[in-house]
Amino acid sequence: MSGLDEVEAQGVVKDYGRQRALCGVSLRLAAGQSTVLLGDNGAGKSTLLGILATLVRPTRGRVLFGGHAAESLEPGALRAQIGLLSHEVRCYGDLSARENLRFFGRLYGLRAALEERVASLIERVGLAAAADRPVRTFSRGMLQRLALARTLLHRPRLLLLDEPYTGLDRDGVTLLSHLLDEERRRGALLLITSHDLDVVAPLCDQALLLRRGRIVASARFAPGTCTATELARLCTAEAES
């Protein structure tokens, strides 16, 4: 599968039993653009990310990756282009940070440059001093940094980030914003959910507001022009209407 340059959800519906989590969501993510997905708890953000990550099957509708339906693509090749950072760290507590990254790197088929990539990522996320300690001894912020390193390890084209700033200290927040900006410049497609408007606004090219499983408002911004006030206005304008 060639480089992913567009992801499009078309009328995605997701039901959990009798509960409808998503009601016909359509969106388009483009290369080198960052989309911020806003919404209250339970709006369906994590479900949408799960569907885009191919982990959750939509009840109806479809997701096109580079113009192709997910079912028509080789699953391994597609998943190799996706990175998902979620609430859970998804690393093995009894292994060190380095061993975890080495393991996931091997799963993603990184071979020749694996050690180099692991070492540089550990350094980049600020875990060099703790790289060989068991992960179960890490603080919440360190775990989040490790999860970030695991997500970026295979240089995914589609980056799905569910509340990525959770647990990070001020330095961690700055670091993450830098890394995400780098990924965006590299041409990755970013979809970020966050309640922290101040932090995500500088990264935002497109904002979508999800409410009760529907996209009820959206806005586009020229690079670097989005502010937290505008994102807040997007949320409140819809509520007033």
Partner 1 sequence: MEAFVRQVAVLLAKDVLVELRAGELIYATLLFSAIVVLLFSFAFLGGSPPTIEVTAGVLWVGLALAGMLGISRSFEREREADTLRALLLSPVSRAALYLAKMLGICLLMIAVCCVVLPALGLLFGLHIERIGLLLGLLALGILGFAAVAALFGASLGRARVRELLLPLLVYPLTVPVLLAGTRGTYAVLYGTEQSLLDAARWLRFLLVFDATALLCGLWLFEPMTAQE
Among 222, 192, 184, 181, residue whose Cα is nearest residue 84? 192
Strand pairing class (19-30; 6-16): antiparallel
9 contacts 26 by C-beta, under 8 angstroms = yes
* Spacing of C-alpha 33 from chain mean position: 13
Neighbour count for residue 135 (Cβ, 10 Å): 21
Nearer to partner 1, 190 or 231 (CB): 190
Question: Quick one: 107 or 237, whose CB is closer to partner 1?
Answer: 107
Contact letters for partner 1, residues 194-213 (x by CB under 8 A): --------------------
**DSSP classification of residue 55:** S
Least Å from the CB of residue 103 to partner 1: 5
Per CB under 8 A, 134 contacts partner 1: yes
C-beta closer to partner 1: residue 81 or 206: 81
Decide if 65 contacts 28 (C-beta within 8 A).
no
Name residues contacting partner 1, limited to 72-111 (CB under 8 A): 75-77, 79-80, 82, 84, 86, 88-95, 99, 103-104, 106-109
Which among 2-10, 70-78, 164-172, 200-208 is the span making contact with partner 1, rule CB under 8 A? 70-78
Q: For residue 44, which of 29, 27, 31, 30 has the smallest C-alpha distance?
A: 27
Edge-to-edge strands, sheet with 19-30:
19-30, 6-16, 60-65, 68-69
Site string for partner 1, 14-53 (x = CB under 8 A): --x---------------------------------x--x
Angle at 88 between CA 109 and CA 92, to 5 degrees: 55
Nearer to partner 1 by C-beta: 35 or 86?
86
Taking the complex as a whole, the smallest distance from the CB of residue 165 to partner 1 amounts, in Å, to: 19
Residue 165 found at the interface with partner 1 (CB under 8 A): no
Name the pairing type of β-strands 68-69 and 19-30: unpaired
Residue 68 touching partner 1 (CB under 8 A): no
Residues lying near partner 1 in the complex (CB under 8 A) are found at 16, 50, 53-57, 75-77, 79-80, 82, 84, 86, 88-95, 99, 103-104, 106-109, 134, 150
